[in-house]
């Protein structure tokens, strides 16, 4: 039956956890898989369960911060077993490309009005925390009923501001990582796992 995927094929695909077959061209750049696809999905399932319990009867609006959060948003939203609306914001940091300055430019604003809503901001990673800090201030000014953050990753010990992130997937060392939405020079976002890159990979681009 052409065009149909056999169940055995799907199982095979899941059994190869570390390097997805569709991403062979990325393999030579990957140094180490830090978090596998299965570990990410398991963690998001747990976060989805917690969020489901915490938001029963509330007016949940999920806000993803583009571009990085588009992958975590898509999976997390399906582990939340409640009615929820989704919206996205795109931001860019002013200043040098590799360092967050803390001053954020809004490239795409929300379609929703936040007043009275229970807002959950979904982030891929909290690094210095400056982007998130700016966003939270901005969003608080729109008078939501509640405002919390869910971040798949948080780098340990390098936040330059105090941030209350209610839902954190994994604490990771402060190294540069790619995959599962996170990019280096716009690549690697479509890897289903989180990995570090070989030093050559930075030079190649």
Q: In sequence order, what DSSP letters do the residues of 157-171 get, joined into one string?
A: T--SS----SEEEEE
Residue closer to ligand IMP by CB (options 55, 132) is: 132
Characterize the bridge pairing of strands 194-197 and 30-35.
Answer: antiparallel
Q: Which does residue 135 bind out of ligand IMP, Mg ion, none, counting CB within 5 to 8 angstroms by kind?
A: none
How far apart are the C-alpha atoms of 145 and 58, rounded to whole Å?
10
Q: Does 169 bind Mg ion (CB under 5 A)?
A: no
To the query of whether residue 127 is one of the catalytic residues in this protein, the response is yes
Residues in contact with ligand IMP, total (CB under 6 A)?
Answer: 15
Q: Does 68 bind Mg ion (CB under 5 A)?
A: yes
Q: Does 126 bind ligand IMP (CB under 6 A)?
A: yes
Angle CA 62–63–64, to nearest 5: 120
Residue closer to ligand IMP by CB (options 55, 201) is: 201
Helical H runs in 7-166?
Answer: 7-15, 37-54, 70-79, 130-140
Q: Using DSSP, state whether 100 is helix, strand or coil.
A: coil
Q: Which does residue 129 bind out of Mg ion, ligand IMP, none, counting CB within 5 to 8 angstroms by kind?
A: ligand IMP
Determine which residue in the list 48, 64, 68, 192 makes contact with ligand IMP, applying CB under 6 A. 68
The two structure tokens encoding residue 123: 């982030």
Which residues have a Cβ under 8 Å from the Cβ of 23 and sit 6 or more positions away? 190, 191
Residue closer to Mg ion by CB (options 14, 161) is: 161
Q: Does 131 bind ligand IMP (CB under 6 A)?
A: yes
Least separation in angstroms between CB 195 and ligand IMP: 10
Binding site for Mg ion (CB under 5 A): 65, 68, 124
Catalytic residues: 127
């Amino acid at each position: 039956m052409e065009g149909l995927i056999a169940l055995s094929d799907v199982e095979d695909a899941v059994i190869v956890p570390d390097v997805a077959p569709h991403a062979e061209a990325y393999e030579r750049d990957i140094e180490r898989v830090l978090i596998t696809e299965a570990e990410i999905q398991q963690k998001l399932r747990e976060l989805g369960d917690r969020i489901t319990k915490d938001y029963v009867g509330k007016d949940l609006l999920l806000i993803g911060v583009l571009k990085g959060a588009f992958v975590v948003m898509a999976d997390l939203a399906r582990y939340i077993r409640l009615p929820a609306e989704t919206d996205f914001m795109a931001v860019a940091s002013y200043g040098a490309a590799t360092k967050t300055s803390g001053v954020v430019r809004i490239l795409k604003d929300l379609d929703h009005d936040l007043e009275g809503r229970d807002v959950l901001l979904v982030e891929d990673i909290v690094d210095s925390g400056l982007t998130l800090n700016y966003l939270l201030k901005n969003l608080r000014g729109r008078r939501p009923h509640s405002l919390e953050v869910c971040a798949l990753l948080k780098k340990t010990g390098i936040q330059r501001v105090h941030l209350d992130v209610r839902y954190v997937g994994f604490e990771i060392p402060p190294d540069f990582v790619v995959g599962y939405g996170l990019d280096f020079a716009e690549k690697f976002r479509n890897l289903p796992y989180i990995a570090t890159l070989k030093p050559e990979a930075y030079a190649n681009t």
